[in-house]
Amino acid sequence: MTNKVTRIGIDIGKNTFHLFGVDETGQPLLRKRLRRTQLLAFLANIEPCLIGLEACSGSHYWARQITVHGHDVRLISPQFVKPYVKSNKNDYNDAEAICEAVGRPTMRFVGVKSVEQQDVQALHRIRQGIIKARTAQANQIRGFLTEYGIVIPEGINYLRRRLPEILEDAENGLTARFRQWLSELYEALCALDERIQRYTQEIMTLYHADEAVSGSARSRGSVRTRRPRWSLPTARPVNSARAVNLPRALVWFRVSTLPAASHVCSASANAAISIFERCSSTAHGPSYGEHRTRPMRVAAGSSGS
């Protein structure tokens, strides 16, 4: 038995962290509770080892910070940690389960996101959240108008065209009070449209900036084409000829994720995030040829496109 800790499982909390470590034979050597401000200082004084974290809120940040001290950090999906939890569930048992799971030779890990990757992911999720809010706003307006005998077909474009006409029509039976409220709802809908357009333009700017970088590298005769700064380290570029039907800029996985993404005909930002996370979960696992995923099919009329 050795006194050197070779593997540590860390259960992440908001203010406290629970650690469980073992040596190379699997014998427990470390069982410790640390405050948030103590974690990095403690790990800096330990020889580099394998550290496992559950892929949860804040895990990518802590993985980057811990890696700076020379440790090999692996993120594990919570569903793969659960089978290793023994007895009652508590923080120490969770840390022990993470420590056990990270040592499995066939375990699949989640790729650690860089700051740039998290920026792009946040941008897409913000945009998708606004799209959901706009859909809810449009449905509310359509429901109110139905109560007054005015029916508008489904689709945001129908609503955009009809609302100004309805507000100007003085003989449609709407009261002055409701007409004022409807006008305010219409203004809110237009504001959401403007926000979506702004975020869409920002995504396009990022996309074209990456295209310019890649094109510049190719023009210099570079042997290795540069990937986007937010692409996964182990991701494989999609053949642009196969991905020609993807909406430009709105899906950043076009040149940075598994070939399964090339089967998507028209994808919303939400679908892009889903495929990105699915690819992240297999970043350290089997190759694409060994672990194929069913291609996603998204309707061409998706609200996010």
pLDDT for 254: 40
> Can you read off the two tokens belonging to residue 196?
């979506």
Q: How many CA atoms lie within 13 A of 95 on its CB side?
A: 23
What is the predicted pLDDT for the residue at 222?
Answer: 43
Q: 230 falls in which pLDDT band (50, 70, 90)?
A: very low
Tokens describing residue 10:
């860390």
Percent of the chain scoring above 70 in pLDDT = 68
pLDDT per position as a tens digit, 231-248: 433 333 333 333 334 444
Angle, in degrees to the nearest 10, between helices 176-219 and 115-147? 150
Can you say whether the dihedral through the CA atoms of 82, 87, 88, 93 is positive or negative?
Answer: negative
Structure tokens at 103: 């040592």
Q: What is the pLDDT of residues 35-61, one digit of tens each?
A: 999 999 999 999 999 999 999 989 999
More confident residue, 122 or 246: 122
Statement: residue 18 has pLDDT above 70: yes
Overall pTM > 0.85: no
pLDDT band with cut points at 50, 70 and 90 for residue 272: low
pLDDT over threshold 80, residue 287 = no
- Residue 208's pLDDT band, with cuts at 50, 70 and 90, is confident
pLDDT in tens, 82-109: 999 988 888 999 999 999 999 999 999 9
Backbone angles phi, psi at 74, to 5 degrees: -125, 135
Whole-number average pLDDT of the chain = 77
